[in-house]
Structures are given as C-alpha cells and as structure tokens.
Amino acid sequence: MATTDNIQDTQPQSNEQLQQELQLRDQLVQQLSQELFRLVKGNDEFTPQPEFSERQQAELRLLREQLQEVEQQVSFYQEQLTQKDQEIYQLRQSVQELSDRSRMLEQVVQELPQIYRQKFAERMATVRDKVEKLQNENRQLHAELQSVSYRLAVKNRRHSLSEIELPTFNPKGGSPIPTFGTV
C-alpha cells in the first residue's frame, strides 16, 4: 500500500510539473506569435521580398525554428500527459480492485469465527448423538447384566438349596436322629 501512496504522491507532482512546463511553453508560443504578428502588422506590405534585411530574415528563421521546437515540445508533453493520465487511470483501477478485494477478505475474516463455531457445533452434534447412543446402549447392557446376574444368583441359590438335605423329623415314630443326605 505504501508504494501505491508513493506513486499517487509522485503522479500529481510530475503532472503539475508537466502542466507548468506546458503553460510556460504556451506562453512562449503566444509571445512569439504576438511578436511575429506585431512585425507583420507593423509592416503593411509584409511580403517576403529580397529587400528584407538579412537580419530580419535571420530573426524570422530563428523565430520559426523556436516555434517549431516549442510545438514539438508541446506535443511531446501532451503525449507524456496522456501516458501519465492512462497510468493514473490504471493505478486507480488497481487501487479500486485491491480495495474491493481487501474489503471482501476483511468480511471473510470477520465471518470466520462464526463459520468455525457453526462447523464445530455441527461436528459436536454428531459426536453428542454417538455419545448418547453409546450411553443408552451402556445402560441397557448394564441392566441386562444385572438381570442376568440376578437370575444366575437365584438359579445358583435354588441349585445349592436343592443339593442340601435338611433333616426331616418324622413325628410318627421313625428314627429319632436326623440323617443328612449327601452334602
């Protein structure tokens, strides 16, 4: 961005300098034209004749050469101004495009946290669903395990009770001593 500022700072300065030089050249052309007009107007019968003094012809030739040089310089500076204007236009377009891109990137950067939160929430929702399913399955398996353990304990208790014979008392006169079966 600093180079763009430097270019933008130097462009107006060089344009102003070129415009000042162009104005100076225009003034010189105008002065030369006025001088030429004054010379022509001062002499009502201004026609190039051989009786013109060599000094006047030399001045006239010098003025024409100067006028031609000034016209060449004016066209040169006009070309330079046109080129500078095109460069300025291109630079302004580039600055506009870069500004638009910068704004777009800033907007994206500002939206990133929200996008990440949303994506994280979506991923966490699937993880939470899986955890909830696993917890439900764990509870169900735990309940089944308790049920199986209880049934097994009941079955073992019945089985161990059926193997132990308790003494029986025979009230009708059987043997007075109780007998234990196979233990």
Side chain identity, residue 167:
P
Tens digits of per-residue pLDDT, 149-170? 998 988 888 877 665 555 555 5
Tens digits of per-residue pLDDT, 38-52? 777 766 555 555 556
DSSP 37-101: HHHHHHSTT----TTS-HHHHHHHHHHHHHHHHHHHHHHHHHHHHHHHHHHHHHHHHHHHHHHHH
Extents of the domains making up the chain: 2-106
Statement: the pTM of the whole predicted model exceeds 0.75: no
Q: So what's the pLDDT on residue 157?
A: 83
Lowest mean pLDDT among 5-14, 23-32, 158-167, 170-179: 170-179
Tens digits of per-residue pLDDT, 106-120? 999 999 999 999 999
Q: Taking the CA atoms of the chain, what radius of gyration do you get in angstroms?
A: 57
Say whether pLDDT at 81 is over 90.
Answer: yes
